[in-house]
A and B are shown apart, each in its own frame.
Chain A
Amino acid sequence: MCLAVPGRILERGGEDAVVDLLGNRLKISTVLTPEAKEGDWVLIHAGFAITQIDESDALETWEYLREVYGSSPAGAVAPDSEDAMTGEGP
């Protein structure tokens, strides 16, 4: 019933934020997650962040995030969009 995808907050302003979805950028509302800051991972449903997620949980949960960020959560670096655009590995 409810599709939701993980994203990382790039910018926050008031109740709005821009999130990065592996190089795709989406403007969302953070009114439901007032404590989320730039750099935080959130789960997004229908244009709203519905909860914050720890980076390690985000990487553990979504395979396509692991493919880009690698499996080691610590210090995962945001990919440039070139990397995100590369076809999946073997």
Chain B
Amino acid sequence: MSGRVESRNGGRRVLLAHGGGGELMHRLIRDHLVPPLDNELLAPLSDGAVLPDPKGRLVITTDSYVVTPLEFPGGDIGRLAVVGTVNDLAVMGAAPVALSLGLILEEGLPLTVLDRVMASIGATAEEAGVPVVTGDTKVIERRRVEEGGNRLAADGLFINTAGLGRLRPGVRLGTDRVKPGDAILVNGPLAEHGLAVLSVRDGLEFESALRSDAAPLNSLIDRVLDTGADVKFLRDATRGGLANVLVDISESREVSIEVDERQVPVAPATRHAADLLGLDPLTVANEGKVVCVVCSESVSVALAAFRDHPLGRQAVCIGCVTGAQPPLVELRTRAGGRRIVQRPYGEELPRIC
């Protein structure tokens, strides 16, 4: 788990001086940060990295990562930091070329935690086939420790990654291409990341069968785009879940979307856990799920390509775009009713009543 489980004096920790630009910082970079990322472009450790000629149009994206706790079933903040940025590039139709890594560490963070997160970043970057080519590290002062308590506040680790990608030639993606008649696909069961993280939050802890679905989707998306299927729009369904993505599409194009709840893949264990916490699986975060809008003629080709990839085995068509007005996302419920799907209002809190 996180640094909390270690005794207050046990183990080596991040010191404020690690961020001071001196010998200590040099050692932190040399011994803890660079080895898991090792690659030729990073090796010079200059102020920036020089990339080969990209030959084509570039996509740049950036994202910051904050999660409590830092490690959770199926992943950790390091995996999220790579996956999130790689997926943002992938859904733009870009092949990731390089990532930058900005670390903000809290004084007192156990170095063992940092090492695990760095190893995870290295492994996930390798999985995604993209190097981390440059980085930066800062150390902030330790935050308040609960008075009279045994809880350490020193679990702060924040990450920013930026990603550079090369746009695939011939791919045009955007909500402006979405039209009534298009089909909506997702690549697998929803809501597992958000519930896995909640399962290890203070005060809510339960031992979950759920694992975060955090995974780099670039090779999956490549496979679909390689088929030549007429893919019109892609978006990873992260915070706000499927609901957020569908409402975005509906609002930006002023089209309606009709979703069949019976087709929406949610594992029974996920539904049970969501019920326990009073949450709607449609609004719970994913980190390895993509919503794909395709022309209706391309559905079978796209689905076959998804299902041919380990991250898309359970891909399904969950609904379609319609011209109904006003523009709404409507769910045909499992029970046979209908209801409107809206975005959640920020983080949904687990409830009991």
Q: Answer whether A and B touch in the complex at a CB cut-off of 8 Å.
A: yes
Binding site for B on A (CB under 8 A): 1-3, 5, 21-27, 44-46, 63-65, 67-68, 81, 84-88
Q: Which residue of B lies closest to A86 (CB)?
A: B267
Q: Is B68 an interface residue (CB 8 A)?
A: no
Contact with A along B246-275 (1 / 0, CB 8 A): 000000000000000010011111011101
Pair B352/A25 contact, Cβ less than 8 Å: no
* Complex: A87 Cα to B262 Cα, angstroms: 11
Pair B266/A88 contact, Cβ less than 8 Å: yes
* Complex: A85 Cα to B276 Cα, angstroms: 16
Min CB gap A58→B, angstroms: 12
- The residue that A24 contacts in the complex, of B272, B351, B353, with Cβ under 8 A, is B272
Pair A24/B273 contact, Cβ less than 8 Å: yes
- Which of B205-213, B291-299, B304-312 interfaces with chain A? B205-213
In the bound complex, residues from chain A placing their C-beta under 8 Å from that of B353 are 1-3
In the bound complex, residues from chain A placing their C-beta under 8 Å from that of B199 are 24
B contact face: mostly helix, strand, loop, or mixed: loop
Min CB gap A68→B, angstroms: 5
In the bound complex, residues from chain B placing their C-beta under 8 Å from that of A26 are 206-207, 276
Pair B207/A87 contact, Cβ less than 8 Å: no
Q: Tell me whether A87 and B265 are in contact in the complex, defined as CB-CB below 8 angstroms, given that A3-B351, A5-B275, A21-B272 are known contacts.
A: yes
- The residue that B269 contacts in the complex, of A2, A22, A44, A63, with Cβ under 8 A, is A22
In the bound complex, residues from chain B placing their C-beta under 8 Å from that of A85 are 189, 209-210, 267, 269
* Complex: A21 Cα to B273 Cα, angstroms: 7
Pair A84/B206 contact, Cβ less than 8 Å: no
Q: Which residue of B lies closest to A67 (CB)?
A: B268
In the bound complex, residues from chain B placing their C-beta under 8 Å from that of A46 are 352
Q: Which residue of A lies closest to B352 (CB)?
A: A46
Give the 10 A-B residue pairs with the shortest CB-CB distance, closest first: A23-B209, A25-B207, A87-B265, A84-B269, A22-B269, A64-B268, A81-B209, A26-B206, A22-B272, A87-B189
Which one of B265, B269, B276, B351 has the greatest number of beta carbons of chain A within 10 Å?
B269
13 chain-A/chain-B pairs, Cβ below 8 angstroms: A1-B353, A3-B353, A5-B272, A21-B206, A21-B272, A22-B269, A24-B206, A24-B209, A24-B273, A44-B276, A68-B269, A85-B189, A88-B265
Q: Which residue of A lies closest to B266 (CB)?
A: A88
Q: Which residue of B lies closest to A21 (CB)?
A: B272
In the bound complex, residues from chain B placing their C-beta under 8 Å from that of A67 are 268
Q: Is B278 an interface residue (CB 8 A)?
A: yes
* Complex: A32 Cα to B302 Cα, angstroms: 53
In the bound complex, residues from chain A placing their C-beta under 8 Å from that of B278 are 3
* Complex: A88 Cα to B199 Cα, angstroms: 22
In the bound complex, residues from chain B placing their C-beta under 8 Å from that of A24 are 199, 206-210, 269, 272-273, 276
* Complex: A63 Cα to B314 Cα, angstroms: 21
* Complex: A14 Cα to B233 Cα, angstroms: 55
In the bound complex, residues from chain B placing their C-beta under 8 Å from that of A23 are 208-210, 269
* Complex: A63 Cα to B336 Cα, angstroms: 14
* Complex: A44 Cα to B210 Cα, angstroms: 20
Q: Is B143 an interface residue (CB 8 A)?
A: no
Which one of B189, B268, B273 has the greatest number of beta carbons of chain A within 10 Å?
B268
Q: Is B201 an interface residue (CB 8 A)?
A: no
Q: Is B151 an interface residue (CB 8 A)?
A: no
Pair B352/A87 contact, Cβ less than 8 Å: no
Q: Which residue of A lies closest to B270 (CB)?
A: A85
In the bound complex, residues from chain B placing their C-beta under 8 Å from that of A68 are 268-269
* Complex: A5 Cα to B268 Cα, angstroms: 13
In the bound complex, residues from chain B placing their C-beta under 8 Å from that of A45 are 352
Pair A22/B209 contact, Cβ less than 8 Å: yes
Which one of B199, B209, B262, B314 has the greatest number of beta carbons of chain A within 10 Å?
B209
Min CB gap A24→B, angstroms: 5
Contact with A along B175-219 (1 / 0, CB 8 A): 000000000000011000000000100000011111000000000
